[in-house]
């Protein structure tokens, strides 16, 4: 069956889909399988879909969209599982703004009930020009493959106590300052659920290249996928010639997207030359610093995030954790300069 798509989600960007696609009624249920569906309800909050260029568009009842099967475990969003079986005509849910589809089992009241999506079929990919034989499309098609034996470059890990802890603000502030110092910087989003917004922000602030786990063929990371995704992204960025990488781990250090698996991997942890913790409050600062030290032997270099929004929080960080607290929104240059010092790179690039 041929069908015209109203909206193409960013999670499918590796396939470079056109507006008209061919569907199969048989759905191959696997993480990242690309399926089309019809939006069945209206929403007035959390009602956008990100396209493959990073643009957000409003969804409406009746829109035909394409997304990818996956799961989500977001404290401030939806919890959703990937179904074991999917048939044409079945109802699934849109779990995030990037187009991940699954079965919602709980929701944060701030985002409201999810969009319901009637499954129309699985998108078929035609690898050979003019071929009539398609195969079930998957976001791993066209994904980054990774480079064997990559050169090792310094990595600044940006971690948080939870989602919305200021990690992307901190990453972008450091990217800008490091770029001003004459360095070629690569950006990375290692864990989370598909959305281009953060890596686009990194590019806006000066990253020469920025990749996330979806570029590596994964819709939503887990402890099983996160370490290999990280290896792929690090090797690709290193091969591109960047001098260092600023790598954000989505969600929190105690979340369910695989951050712990990355930090527990000795090889991946060894790429890290600086470790930034973003926290929402003083308790998060104390607990996060101790968790990283006790579980992984990581010494935090600096604390950022809402816990440092004013001098009350900064004093707490300095007094209780013995660390500098530098806010990425109010003191972005200071944060970047501090990381230059941690890395042993001379200050330059500012009047």
Please write the tens of the pLDDT for every residue from 50-88.
999 999 999 999 999 999 999 999 989 999 999 999 999
- pLDDT value for 292: 98
Going by the DSSP 8-state scheme, the letter that residue 192 receives in this structure is: S
Q: To which H or E segment does residue 335 belong? A: helix 332-343
Q: How far apart are CA 258 and CA 243, in angstroms?
A: 26
* Domains with residue ranges and CATH for the chain: 2-136 (no CATH), 155-343 (3.40.50.300)
Query: What's the pTM?
Result: 0.95
DSSP at 223: T
At residue 342 the predicted structure's pLDDT band, cuts being 50, 70 and 90, is: very high
pLDDT at 204 over 90: yes
How far apart, in whole angstroms, are the C-alpha atoms of residue 243 and residue 4? 44
In DSSP terms, 325 is beta-bridged to 303
Say what percent of the chain tops pLDDT 90: 93
Tens of pLDDT, residue by residue over 91-111, are 999 999 999 999 999 999 999
- The pLDDT confidence band at residue 187, using thresholds 50, 70 and 90, is very high
* pLDDT on residue 130: 61
Mean pLDDT of the chain: 96
**Torsion from C-alpha of 170, 176, 180, 184, nearest 10 degrees:** 100
Burial class (CB in 10 A: 0-12, 13-18, 19+), 59: buried
Q: What pLDDT digit, counting tens, does each position of 15-37 carry?
A: 999 999 999 999 999 999 999 99
> d(Cα 334, Cα 36) in Å, to the nearest integer?
47
Backbone torsion region of residue 89, taken as left when φ is above 0, otherwise alpha when ψ lies between -120 and 50, otherwise beta: left
Q: Provide the angle, in degrees to the nearest 10, between the axes of the packed helices 167-180 and 332-343.
A: 70
Let me know how many helices (H) and strands (E) the chain has, helices first: 8, 19
What's the CA angle centered on 158, arms 153 and 161, to 5 degrees? 155
Confidence band for 132, pLDDT divided at 50, 70 and 90: confident
What angle, rounded to 10 degrees, do the helices at 167-180 and 197-204 form?
30
């Amino acid at each position: 069956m041929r069908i015209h798509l109203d909206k193409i989600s960013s999670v499918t960007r590796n396939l470079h889909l056109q507006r008209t696609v061919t569907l199969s009624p048989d759905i191959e249920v696997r993480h990242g399988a690309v399926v089309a569906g019809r939006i069945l309800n209206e929403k007035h909050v959390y009602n956008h879909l990100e396209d493959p260029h990073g643009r957000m568009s409003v969804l409406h009842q009746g829109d035909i969209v394409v997304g990818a099967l996956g799961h989500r475990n977001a404290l401030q969003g939806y919890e959703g599982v990937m179904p074991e079986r999917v048939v044409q005509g079945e109802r699934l849910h849109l779990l995030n703004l990037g187009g991940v589809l699954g079965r919602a089992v709980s929701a944060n009241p701030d985002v409201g009930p999810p969009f319901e999506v009637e499954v129309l079929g699985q998108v078929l990919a035609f690898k050979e020009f003019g071929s009539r034989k398609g195969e079930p499309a998957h976001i791993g098609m066209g994904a980054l493959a990774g480079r064997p034996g990559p050169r090792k470059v310094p990595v600044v890990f940006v971690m948080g106590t939870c989602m919305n802890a200021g990690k992307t603000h901190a990453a972008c502030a450091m990217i800008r300052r490091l770029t001003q110092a004459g360095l070629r910087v690569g950006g990375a989003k290692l864990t989370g659920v598909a959305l281009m917004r953060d890596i686009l922000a990194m590019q806006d602030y000066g990253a020469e290249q920025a990749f996330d786990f979806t570029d590596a063929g994964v819709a939503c990371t887990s402890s099983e996928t996160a370490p290999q995704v990280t290896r792929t992204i690090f090797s690709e960025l290193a091969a591109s010639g960047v001098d260092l990488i600023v790598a954000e781990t989505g969600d929190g250090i105690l979340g369910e997207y695989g951050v712990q698996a990355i930090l527990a991997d000795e090889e991946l942890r060894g790429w890290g030359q600086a470790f930034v913790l973003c926290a929402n409050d003083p308790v998060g600062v104390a607990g996060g610093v101790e968790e990283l030290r006790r579980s992984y032997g990581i010494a935090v270099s600096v604390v950022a995030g809402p816990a440092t929004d004013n001098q009350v929080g900064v004093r707490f960080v300095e007094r209780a954790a013995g660390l500098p607290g530098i806010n990425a929104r109010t003191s972005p240059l200071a944060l970047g300069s501090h990381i230059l010092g941690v890395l042993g790179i001379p200050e330059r690039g500012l009047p």
